[in-house]
Structure 1
């Protein structure tokens, strides 16, 4: 197995907008490619002990004057006897009829993970892995191109997912996978197929391994990250190790996306949207791959192929 030092651009539909870590609040950013059905935005953070309220706005533009339309206004409030969330839409400077959702699973002083999943007609919101609310669009989703966060909130990470690979049966949100994780590849791999692995690196990580095995349990190709010496490498079935000369993009308690794009002659690799290199495998070897195995110091929430 040889390593190609260069990676050609991957199709835009597979590129993940880089996650944002510890932004200063108030915070605003462009949503690359806008919003569309199947896109997901992830928000990880902490509610301060004396929090009164905060808001997450999905806006149609980023100007200050006049104020842009807000397609979806998500506003948790903690200063009342019973904390609740207000959802609304701002159009032409006027708020529409608000919707109140009681019983929010957010607490002062506690960390949280909020997922915003955008469907064709509504946005679904989960808090700490549990479905919380859904809100029907009042403005076209295609107009939304800006995310704004303000108020009493400490944000650790904001993640943008360009596709929705999470639907399995009746599940609406990713529930995570146990590690090590194994997935069968009944038909092997073929040009154009994409393997996507998304997750969260643990607090004190040691390593991360993604291997592809054939029917004889051989391991023709392995991607291995070492958090100890901060190296990323391809390892062949003969024990050969080829370091990938690129910045180490795995960080404790941060989201990651590994993408393998199968093409004629091998696999291309991208990590968090950045192309990092390729392996050379002939078509026969690709077709014989029958198992994807993932292990290491990570929490998985997506294994898609």
Structure 2
């Protein structure tokens, strides 16, 4: 089965560094960029740039530059018409650690970029260059990237996205409009209860991004019918067992557990994203862009599945469907 991203959710997984991830149609207020990765032990510096073109030397709307040389600090700047602007610095509360994983979220606001690192507000960089000019996210330096994801944008017909280095075609949206969806919801509390407008339908993708804290034992995703309190899909990550259990709860009884999977991507202290696509006959589950499992429908009336419930030892950074 092939990976299909959710509407308005465009990920690039495990790119070589340096890399560029396209931003189709420019940025607009309400959009966000998520970057997850790891800082190697030998790191000196790395940079995340919101570029106004796909090549070196183009204008840079935001230059985010952590430096590990002596006094750890983060430099913010812009690059326009061949010259760097005035540097802004944050020296306290350095959120990056050599050998550690991180998640960086750039929220696009009308007045500037709100930067969140590891779930905590870190800095706000006021716009110096119109956000609509941004064409790509450019990452370079001493860093390993797990994913770069643009949330809330549209793409023209045939524009490529990337999944594990392979190209695929994205859907088109009229006039570059943001499609109607139940999200994104940024940094929601746990437990999370989300209403699915109109219920589940075939060819719909649900995305959950999060972090597993050290010492976490388990977390779950439930696709439920609020009218019957039945669970069509129970996706249960059990860290203490090293297993991911899938099941259903119908007519007051749990069904047969399914546990088989090619790998276990859920590790305490690391970030992940889960994409669940509701096919005609089964749920198709991807984790970090890789095929993970399928679960055949046991609850046939998909439109009655109107609630997504998330609970357990997890910190959520985004839910979108």
Q: TM-score, normalised to structure 2's length?
A: 0.66
Work out the CA distance in 1 between the residues paired with 2:232 and 2:94.
Answer: 48
Per the alignment, in what secondary structure is the counterpart of residue 73 of structure 1? strand
Query: 1:202 aligned to 2:189?
Result: no
Instruction: Give 1:200 shift.
Output: 0.4
Cα distance between partner residues in 2 of 1:109 and 1:257 = 21
Give 1:213 shift.
Answer: 1.7
User: Which residue of structure 1 aligns with residue 172 of structure 2?
Assistant: none
Query: What's the secondary structure of 1:261's corresponding residue?
Result: strand
Q: Paired residue for 2:242, among 230, 249, 254?
A: 230
Q: Which of 163, 178, 203 is matched with 2:151 structurally? A: 163
User: Aligned match of 1:18 in 13, 18, 22?
Assistant: 13
Once the 2 structures are TM-superposed, how far is the Cα of residue 52 of structure 1 from its aligned partner? 9.8
Q: CA deviation at 1:108?
A: 8.7
The corresponding residue for 1:269 is 285
- Structure 1 residues 108 and 120 mapped into 2: Cα distance closer, same or farther (>3 Å)? closer
CA positional deviation for 1:235: 1.0
1:77: Cα distance to partner?
Answer: 7.5
Whole-Å Cα distance in 1 between the matches of residues 243 and 67 of structure 2? Answer: 44
Structure 2 unaligned regions, length at least 5: 154-183
Matching residue within 106, 111, 121 for 2:93: 106
Q: Deviations over 1:235-275 (max 9, x none)?
A: 13242011232211111111111111223233221111112
Asked if the contact 1:244/1:276 (under 8 Å) is kept, the reply is no
In 1, the alpha carbon distance for the partners of 2:221 and 2:274 equals 9
Q: Kindly indicate whether residue 195 of structure 2 is the aligned counterpart of residue 184 of structure 1.
A: yes
Kindly state the Cα deviation for residue 175 of structure 1 after the two structures are TM-superposed.
Answer: 3.5
Computing the radius of gyration over CA atoms, which structure comes out larger, 1 or 2? 1
Matched-pair contact (CA < 8 Å) for 1:199–1:301: yes
State the distance in 2 between where 1:245 and 1:218 align.
Answer: 25
Q: Does 1:29 align with 2:29?
A: no
Q: 2:186 aligned with 1:174, yes or no?
A: yes
Say which SS state the counterpart of residue 301 (structure 2) adopts. Answer: helix
1:88 pairs with 58, 68, 78, which one? 78
Give the aligned partner of residue 176 of structure 2: none
Q: Which residue of 2 aligns with 1:212?
A: 223
Give the number of aligned pairs.
Answer: 271
Whether the aligned pair in 2 keeps the contact of 1:201 and 1:253 (CA below 8 Å) is yes
Distance in 2 between the 1:120 and 1:40 partners?
A: 15
Partners of 2:275 and 2:287 within 8 A in 1 = yes
2:115 is aligned with 1:125 = yes
Of stretches 109-118 and 221-230 in structure 1, the one that deviates more from structure 2 is 109-118
Secondary structure at the aligned position of 2:240 is classed as coil
What's the RMSD between the two structures over aligned residues? 4.1
The one-character-per-residue Cα deviations of 1:93-134 (angstroms, maximum 9, x if unpaired) are x32432x44666534998986422357996443356326223
Q: Match for residue 3 of structure 1?
A: none
Does residue 301 (structure 1) correspond to residue 317 (structure 2)? The answer is yes
Contact 2:115/2:122 (8 A) holds in 1: yes
Scaled by the length of structure 1, the TM-score of the pair is 0.69
Separation in 1, partners of 2:238, 2:2:
25
Distance 1:176 1:31, change over 3 A: farther
In the TM superposition, what is the alpha-carbon distance from 1:300 to its structure 2 partner?
A: 1.0
Residue 40 of structure 1 and its aligned partner are, at CA, apart by 0.5
